[in-house]
């Protein structure tokens, strides 16, 4: 769907779309070329994009894709539906923390290490963020920072709760 969003701005070929994606989401894993082409092929099959031009300059052959009317509509529809708030309750951090606390295996050190790991990533992203002036890219990084911040607050509350009440195994 993000590819449709990128094409909403105007036609583009795979490499341009990959670059634009990575600009939009600097904190996400860079998009693999294979993934871009596979997705474009699927979107073309579904009638959401179409090849409008093929040209070859010095490099490999490049196909320029554009949104079809159906593609525009699908994008509008996607944006019109709010994203279901994600339940993070079952993610690996919680599983590991709960397991560590319930088993009582080196629990204080576990929380220390987790805190340090989160803080290291936050520091790295904060550094990246300072280099990024464009507000849209900052907003994408902010999402990760806000979640890390929430995790850290939860870890701290967990430590306080554990110190006060202990945790049953």
Partner 1 sequence: MTETEVVVAASGVQLSFGSTPALRGASISVARGELVALTGPSGSGKSTLMHCLAGVLLPDAGVVTFAGRRLDEMSADERTLLRRRHIGLVLQFGQLVPELTALENVALPLLLDGRGRKNVEQAARQWLEQLGVADRAGIRPPAMSGGEQQRVAIARALVTSPDVVLADEPTGSLDTVTGELALEVLVKATRETGAALVVVTHDHRVSAWMDREVVLRDGAVEAPVDAAP
Q: CB 88 → partner 1: shortest distance, Å?
A: 17
In the bound state with partner 1, the residue whose beta carbon lies nearer, of 2 and 152, is 152
Q: CB 79 → partner 1: shortest distance, Å?
A: 25
In the bound state with partner 1, the residue whose beta carbon lies nearer, of 42 and 161, is 161
In the bound state with partner 1, the residue whose beta carbon lies nearer, of 102 and 147, is 147
In the bound state with partner 1, the residue whose beta carbon lies nearer, of 21 and 129, is 129
Q: CB 27 → partner 1: shortest distance, Å?
A: 13
- What is the token pair recorded at 50? 């179409």
In the bound state with partner 1, the residue whose beta carbon lies nearer, of 76 and 143, is 143
Q: DSSP string of the chain?
A: -HHHHHHHTS-EEHHHHHHHHHHH-TTSPPPPHHHHHHHHHHHHHTTSEEEEEEE-SSSS-EEEEEE-HHHHHHHHHHHHSPPPPP--TTSHHHHHHHHHHHHTSSHHHHHHHHHHHHHHHHHHHHHHHHH---HHHHHHHHHHHHHHHHHHHHHHHHHHHHHHH----
Q: CB 117 → partner 1: shortest distance, Å?
A: 4
Q: CB 116 → partner 1: shortest distance, Å?
A: 5
Residue ranges that bind partner 1, judged by CB under 8 A = 109, 112-120, 122-123, 125-126, 130, 145, 148-149, 152-153, 156, 160
CB 103 within 8 A of CB 161: no
Angle between helices 107-131 and 92-103 (to 10 degrees): 160
């Amino acid at each position: 769907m993000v590819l449709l969003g990128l094409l909403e701005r105007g036609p583009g070929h795979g490499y341009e779309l990959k670059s634009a994606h990575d600009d939009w989401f600097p904190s996400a894993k860079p998009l693999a070329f294979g993934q871009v082409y596979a997705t474009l092929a699927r979107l073309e099959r579904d009638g959401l994009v179409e090849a409008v031009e093929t040209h070859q300059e010095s490099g490999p052959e490049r196909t320029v894709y554009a949104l079809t009317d159906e593609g525009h509509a699908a994008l509008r529809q996607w944006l019109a539906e709010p994203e279901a708030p994600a339940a993070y309750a079952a993610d690996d951090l919680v599983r590991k923390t709960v397991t560590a606390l319930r088993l009582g295996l080196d629990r204080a050190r576990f929380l220390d290490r987790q805190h340090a790991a989160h803080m290291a990533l936050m520091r790295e992203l904060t550094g990246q963020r300072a280099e990024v002036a464009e507000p849209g890219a900052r907003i994408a990084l902010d999402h990760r920072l806000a979640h890390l911040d929430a995790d850290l607050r939860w870890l701290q509350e967990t430590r306080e709760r554990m110190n006060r009440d202990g945790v049953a195994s």
